[in-house]
Amino acid sequence: MANPLFDTLFGQHIGSDAVFLQLPGNQNLTYASFLDMAARYAGLLTDFGLVPGDRVAVQIEKSPQALAVYAACAQAGLVFLPLNTAYTADEVSYFVENSGAGILLGDDTKKHALAPIAERCNARLETLNADGSGSFPDKAAAFPRTFDTVSRDESDLAAFLYTSGTTGRSKGAMLSQGNLLSNARVLLSEWRFTSDDVLLHALPIFHTHGLFVATNIILLSGGQMIFLPKFDLDQMIAELPRATSLMGVPTFYTRLLSDARFTKDLAQHMRLFVSGSAPLLAETHVQFEDRTGHRILERYGMTETNMNTSNPYDGERRAGTVGFPLPGVELKITDSKTGKTLAQGEIGEIEVRGPNVFQGYWQMPEKTAEELREDGFFITGDLGQIDPDGYVTIVGRNKDLIISGGYNIYPKEIELILDEQDGVLESAVIGVPHPDFGESVIGILVAKPGENLDLDGIGENIGKSLARFKQPQKLVVVPELPRNTMGKVQKKALREEFAAILSR
């Protein structure tokens, strides 16, 4: 009997008194205690009638118990389906129905809204709350602390992660045991994690970054996690002295830099800071190094592939880039219309192939065929280029490409220039409808605290660096850019908000 995912990540720690999770309130949870809990959960899920390959949908707050559901699914051969806690009942309804989940775990506060969904989708509804209470753990308490691990192999599905659905209905990316394990093994080696590491974990665990990158690496290494419910600046600064590493999104780093308590002395013992899920401004990269002496390691991944590239652990971590393809991952830049590989330095669509690439979209064979080539290359939808030294730079999403008067305009090129202007904190460039050119460029700006932006002056400055067809026809100042839970700017929302701005 073998189960690669459970045996490799969890099984090695059964009976171990080593600390796995450091929790608020100076509480520690050992690997043994965590896996006892997971075994009880696996027993209960099996008792409910779920069989290997069935889906377990969860919309629950981050907690050790929530993480134990992931371990239980791996041990019982079930497919783990974590859902963003911000999703509405209507959104959850789609995911449960589309996935055919046999059970839905939700918070007691949402039980009233989730009950009709579960009933309509013929899914069992149980509750699990942030404090570890709920009907699910209550029932699991009657089950033994051991569970006979279900036999699976690396080709079997381990998880579904639904895409954000910015261009239509969300797609369920099917991730196998092999997909998850291969990526964890590579990252463990590339980022030099060992059992001595203590990862400061403030990411959500419904997303690949916090779950399949951060958690899987620590499980594989046998290290510890300081397991915070969410990002809290005071907590982060208080806990940092006990950590060796931090994985975060750019917002983590900008908020740390905004606080005078975050000093070089506070960070000097740290081994590694990793950033991803959204682009890190080059200015943040420089400010962070000036403040702490550390260079943030930026990497590139996505729902369907986990991690694809990384800046080097040893060597230059180049600001504005996402480094090199990881070992075992092939990456090429192609023409989005013909699929032909472009010359180095040209901008095109990023395609990747490797053991990390998902198995396809659940019940969407046509979408799978559109984005996953027969030769195994996945068309990411991201635009990028490879510089002469081999570093990969993400230019933007293919859907964000602006075509004005027949010219291709890459928002990232303009954003980099706007970000350098006096008083500008950050920017987003979008295309909006134009009667003559099809689309026209609009620049959305956020000012630094206390600054008043001189839009005419900014317009004149960028005119010196950009061809006329690339220059924003209008600059708009907003208090902040709309972002999703992982910090990505939601350009679809901006395009909708400013669609008629040229006709006002």
Q: What is the pLDDT of residues 467-486, one digit of tens each?
A: 788 889 999 999 999 987 76
446, 425 Cβ separation under 8 angstroms: yes
Q: What is the mean predicted confidence (pLDDT) over 311-324? A: 94
Phi, psi for 313 (deg, rounded to 5) = -70, -50
314 burial type by CB count under 10 A (0-12 exposed, 13-18 middle, 19+ buried): exposed
Residue 98 near residue 122 (C-beta atoms within 8 A): no
Residue type present at position 475: L
- Whether 237 and 259 have beta carbons less than 8 Å apart is answered as yes
First-to-last C-alpha distance (Å) of the chain:
67
Cα angle at 319 between 314 and 320, to 5 degrees? 130
Category of 423 on φ-ψ map: left (φ > 0), alpha (ψ -120 to 50) or beta: left
Contact indicator for 305, 352 with CB cutoff of 8 Å: yes
Kindly list the domain boundaries of the chain, sorted by start residue. Answer: 4-153, 198-397, 401-503
Helix axes 282-292, 411-419, angle to 10 degrees: 40
Which residues are bridge partners to 426 per DSSP? 446
Distance CA 244, CA 164 (A): 32
Q: Which residues contact 290 (CB under 8 A, 6 or more apart)?
A: none
Cα separation, 448 vs 301, in Å, equals: 29
Q: What percent of the chain has pLDDT over 90?
A: 75
Q: Which range has highest mean pLDDT (60-69, 407-416, 442-451)?
A: 60-69
Which candidate, 402, 424, 397, places its Cα nearest to that of 469?
402
pLDDT score for 278 = 75
Model confidence band, residue 126 (pLDDT cutoffs 50, 70, 90): very high
Question: At residue 270, what are phi and psi to the nearest 5 degrees?
Answer: -70, 145
Position 166 scores a pLDDT of 44
DSSP 8-state code for residue 243: -
CA distance 331 to 103: 38
Topology match between the domains 4-153 and 198-397: yes
Rg for the chain, CA atoms, rounded:
23
Task: Output the six-digit token pair for 187.
Answer: 């990252």
∠ at Cα 271 (269, 275), nearest 5°? 125
Tell me what pLDDT residue 89 has: 87
Q: Amino acid letter at 224?
A: Q
Q: Nearest Cα to 414, choosing from 439, 396, 399, 387?
A: 396
Q: Above 90 in pLDDT, residue 246?
A: yes
Q: Is the pLDDT of residue 165 over 60?
A: no
Tell me which CATH code domain 401-503 carries: 3.30.300.30
DSSP label at residue 279: P
Which pLDDT belongs to residue 500? Answer: 85
170 or 109: which carries more pLDDT confidence? 109
- Mean pLDDT, the chain, integer: 92
Looking at residues 20-47, what average pLDDT do you find?
96
Q: Which CATH entry fits the domain spanning 4-153: 3.40.50.12780, 1.20.140.10, 3.50.30.50, 3.30.565.10?
A: 3.40.50.12780
pTM of the predicted model as reported, rounded to 2 decimal places: 0.85
Domain 198-397 sits in CATH at 3.40.50.12780
Q: Region 319-334: what's the mean pLDDT? A: 96
Q: Which candidate, 116, 111, 117, 125, places its Cα nearest to that of 98?
A: 117
Over the stretch 444-454, which tens digit does the pLDDT of each residue have? Answer: 999 999 999 99
